[in-house]
Structure 1
Amino acid sequence: MRSFSADVIAAKVPLLWRAVAAALLLGLVLLALVEQRARVLRNGTEVRLKTVPVDPRDLFRGDYVVLGYPISMVEAGQEGARPYQRGETVFVTLGRDEQGFARAVGVSREWPKGSGEAVVIAGRVTSIGGCAINANGETDCRGNRSRLRIAYGLESYFVPQGEGKAIEATEKARIEVVAAVSSSGEAAIKRLLIDGKQVYQEPPY
């Protein structure tokens, strides 16, 4: 019996149908990504984050703010443990400070055992150094400890064109982000507040 390779079979399919099939596949992939993010926004646990805006503009997508958080700098852990590497995925356990904002209370390479009802957020190590952002949003380089800078996918937020600079110029203590964190550690920005008042809410789709 004559066998046909995948290339031979594909060659027999009209080009138009192949293009349609590719477009449908791409659409399904994009739809899955959108639905995954929407699921995080709908069902994720809300956490309050202090923010530090950095950069006001993206020429291709209108205005945006780049945000830094106190939880973006985390103590690397006990001495003698295997050093963390840039690009490594980590899981940060979150607690709350006296004002109700999230704070990092632990970091590990694996999902933390015994985390219970605590919120755990997944991130990626972007650098390793000795400085951290303290509770006032100021860089603190005191001591000789190793700290990790971690990105959570919450570092940029797009806003209507022309309004990014106004947010960037706002005093950092006045800005707050409410993020949703899924049970697997995925996170997405849900709301942006200034002086406790909502100024933007992310639509689920």
Structure 2
Amino acid sequence: MIRLPSADAFTGRISPLWRGLAAILLLCGLTLALVESRARILRSGTEVRLATAPVDPRDLFRGDYVILNYKISTLDTAKLDGDKAFERNQPVFVSVAPGVDGLAEAKGVYLARPAAAAGGSVLEGRVTSIGACVTNANGDPDCSAGRRAIRVSYGLESYFVPQGTGRAIETTEHKRLEIVAAVSSSGQAAIKRLLIDGKLVHQEPPY
């Protein structure tokens, strides 16, 4: 019977220096792949304008990260197309289209990715809670109207800003704050620009 050398025997012949270099190169390669993946979304993704919604002021600003909430974060499934039964941590796809003000409005939420409507986009998200309070036209929670909504995160809920510049964002009324996200064809999204009163405050570099 032919015996193949074990992996331990093979790696034992490689000096610790070369093993260390190989590990460093592997980590660098993985990091570059992640950076390039995000940069590709920012370069070629479809731009979607997102209206923000109120967030707990105690959590709005943590260090150099702005904590964000969106109108499309809370979805009243009874008023939307698509599936109706969801579970926590379940991946979902949210179909959006620009409203009369140009800001994205949710049109449907699905367990399987639907085709994007003309002029619209599909964002991939994950259900963070079920049985949430629905929201009113301003994006404020309204529990008196029922708790049939689901909460969805899109990976857009925190945004790094230069040190010392977060105070203006922290004290800004959510109605004045707008996020422009880039959405890839697969539904992955990344924050591209942050605006207050329609004026650019921060723009994410491509790398």
TM-score by length of 1: 0.90
Match of residue 108 from structure 2: 106
With over 3 angstroms needed to count, the CA separation of the structure-2 counterparts of 1:167 and 1:129, relative to structure 1, is same
Residue pair 1:73, 1:132 contacting (<8 A) in 2 also:
yes
Match of residue 29 from structure 2: 28
* Percentage of pairs with the same residue: 55
The range that moved more, 190-199 or 133-142, is 133-142
Report the Cα distance in structure 2 between the residues aligned to 1:2 and 1:75, rounded to whole angstroms.
62
Match of 1:161 among 163, 174, 192: 163
Matched ranges for 1:125-204 at <5 A? 125-144=127-146, 146-204=148-206
Residue pair 2:75, 2:151 contacting (<8 A) in 1 also:
yes
Residue pair 1:70, 1:132 contacting (<8 A) in 2 also:
no
The range that moved more, 110-119 or 39-48, is 110-119
SS in 1 for 2:145: coil
Report the Cα distance in structure 1 between the residues aligned to 2:47 and 2:137, rounded to whole angstroms.
20
Unaligned stretches of 5+ residues in structure 1? none
Matched, 1:92 2:90: no
Cα deviation digits, residues 25-51 of structure 1 (max 9, x gap)? 111011000000000001111011111
Residue pair 1:69, 1:133 contacting (<8 A) in 2 also:
no
State the shift of 1:135 in Å.
3.2
Report the Cα distance in structure 2 between the residues aligned to 1:84 and 1:10, rounded to whole angstroms.
47
With over 3 angstroms needed to count, the CA separation of the structure-2 counterparts of 1:105 and 1:165, relative to structure 1, is same
Instruction: Letter of the 1:28 partner, please give it.
Output: G
